Structure 1
């Protein structure tokens, strides 16, 4: 099963022969590559592999050591993640100043329902401003302000903290900055963001204001995986709400923020349960996933939508009203 595969990530300067050197090392140790994805952005190379190490003919420590030695030789960073290295998954919250989303996740952890199996923790909160230090302290979490006073983050410091706390999943809980490829590439498929619109509508900043100015009747929120393309990563969960006539931006925000927290929490739970996969840019529930998930509209909303007429099919009459 895919969830038993080992993940190997290579990040560094693009150079000829890099892929061949890594794959040859794996072949020599009886490791079979099941999936390989690579990309280059602004001269930075990233390769993510999922491999079957069940027939590994050496120890995990030797494999890590050999890959680290190769990484130093090639001047790239190579990370190995075995599926059962640790029972509890570790989540880093990246925040700015809005508290509704991070507080929802922190409260879920406190109540033991952040993950379906209870095996998840939030060991660190990282902000590009100091606004939410008090929130982190209320939940007994270390808080690190990595901003420069104007909100511009030190991404090298972020990477150091993610490594120090051995983070499995990065959650952007209304983090108001774009992550650079140096971070995104290292945590490809392991960064979740909540955006206050029904993507791909209204990407970027001030999405609720964009929705008001566009005059939409229905707005919403989207939890998605982060890629190097702004607000274009694979969508995990979405929630929608009505926009009444005369609603202000603050009114729209007040309707959206509770759904932001809900959609983000569900996306985190689905990721931690390994219940979703990404195929050709679309997130799908795994066939063997034992979860009760609402990825889009609730059942009541789906049932309220008409299913006729459809081109090429006869028009069906609505059911007759009951005499009861």
Structure 2
């Protein structure tokens, strides 16, 4: 069979307009022939994922394995992912902060993208061939969380201290989160080595593996030290927050606390108030009284998103301690250093 040179030239001109070279077509053939099935590839994705991804995407990966396991990665279509997204939104279990399955649907897309991001990085498929990236994530709705009023915060603390099977622990949790604006995961990750009683600091490891020292009031420092001594934390690696029987605290204590508060205070249940609202409350107060830069440091935010000015708006540990001292009415050793 003779080659029609004019047709070859026309094909070259077409490829040039498309930005494709003959070697790209050859690479694509190699990729197609070596693309694994989802069942073959998913264990590699799971092994490379961090604990946060496991918690968030694990159930969705299991569902994808059941549904698409025998399919090669390039055989899964964007419409397949969209169908699973809709199904997850429909099946989502109603919660106090429900968004009609919106978050579940978003997690399906994110879980699929995590798989295809890894496949692209491993050279198994081309970026343009990823079906997960052709499905748009739903737009994030504004958060209903807000700063609690002083009266609301007082009601929550009063009820926590007069009900429940461990009021000392519950009161300590509420105070810890109110003073530090830490996340729940940060509190649960505290170990005895993270408590600096001399300088009234705790070391928080939170979202994105960020690590920072956060000032706490002298009285809270003493309460935390007493708590660890009374509940059996002796080694530096022992978890700081513990049940009365010495077991390390889990997220279930938080769930139990807010369920009880919601039963006693109907407005807590109606608005879906949780520990994260305490973070909003504290950071709003700090921003109103000390400005954005100190509130950003108080929150432990290290991202560079937003206006370029945020690069220059920084606050040191002493400034955060001064804000804490003003909020709690207790002198802090680091805040006193700035006054001298």
Structure richer in strand, relative to its length: 1
TM-score (norm 1): 0.24
Give the TM-score normalised by structure 2.
Answer: 0.24
